[in-house]
Structure 1
Amino acid sequence: MTESRKRRFGVALLLILLNSFAIIGVIVLGVVAFQQSERAATAEAQAAAESEQRGQDIEALRDQVYELGETPVVASPTPSPSSPPSTRDGRDGEDGQDGQDGQNATPAQVAVAVAEWCAANGNCIGATGRPGTNGNDGRDGQDSVIPGPMGPQGPAGPVCPDGYTASTVWVAIADSADGTFAPQQATICRITSAPSPAPTESGEPTP
């Protein structure tokens, strides 16, 4: 092997070793960074759990102080932003002041509310009650001085008496005996059958 080949082989071997060391260094740095991240996450979770536990212990102590009729002088600690919210319900606060009395509903508002309630619940009709007793008769009213309405027109009566038949003829009439006579239609009753003779005192008809 010549001297130049030896030098080229040495340089190549050196480059391979340097690349191997670089890759190993990157892997080592990645492992270290991952481990540090895991330690930081574990420490943060442990700190949050400890903070929550301390908050629960303080809340328990406050409840015990309230149960003994005392007022705690130490305020509750502010939870860490990274810690999960507490699942314990806090103590109820004191009732606020009563508000002003509202205005009475108007008859129109009551009618609207009743109509809406009836529409939502089907109907507003209760059960049928028992029939009541008959009341006393009222006093007789006074006679009215105003005439009532006209009744319906009755059927037409007979035109002619029995034994006669109505017949339309032409007659000459005038306003006076010396006046001018003029023809005009008129309805007259003509005999259609002889009238029955009147009975005598003996009961027999007169011939």
Structure 2
Amino acid sequence: MTRTQHMLYQRRYLLWITAALLALGGGLAVALLQIQGAEGRATELATEADRRGDAVTTLAGDVRTLRAQIQARGGTPAAPDPAQAVDDLPARAEVPVPIPGPPGPAGVRGERGPAGEAGEDGAAATPVPGPSGAAGTPGRPGADSAVLGPAGPAGPVGPAGPPGPAGKDGVGQDGKDGADGRDGAPGRDGQTCPAGYSLQPPPDDPDALVCRRTGAPSPAPDPSGTPGPLAAGLDPTRRQYP
């Protein structure tokens, strides 16, 4: 906390009092301005009322003068006497116009008066019903008396009835024989070789069949006559005992 902040904190009460005085002074200034404005408006109203009072006095005098002139010539004035046409004309034409002052202090409350007399019982004042009137004649049916009204809404579904008796066993007729089916398409050959190949005996084993490409030339025989590894493994004379 700085020195300035510490000083302001110690004198915070003085700041609050100053703020309260400023607010009070502002309120008093606004009240004085309102009072001055009200006094100015009251002065303007009094001035306008005085002008209207002078105008009423002048017009009343002119009407009286005209009436006297017409009566002097033997005529009857059409306008009535202002004093008779306007109630309390002298008070209304008084200038300056009396303006009511501010209301005075409230008076002392008077003593409570005596209680009033008890009223009569309300049962005695109840009106007694008169005799019943004669019965009226029955009304005639209207023009639309024969017209049926709209149909009402459908009622709820009732409970299910008991099950009916079992029916008789029926006798069925034999069905007709069905038509013969169509012959199936020819099946494939029994060979397992893919397309373009066929079963052929190998040159070194006529009892076997292998898949070879169709149209492929036969392999040339080995000129050395040396059996291959497969032939050596299958040669029955490969084992010779002493």
Instruction: Name the TM-score class by shorter chain.
Output: 0.3 to 0.5
TM-score by length of 1: 0.37
Bigger Cα Rg: 2
TM-score by length of 2: 0.32
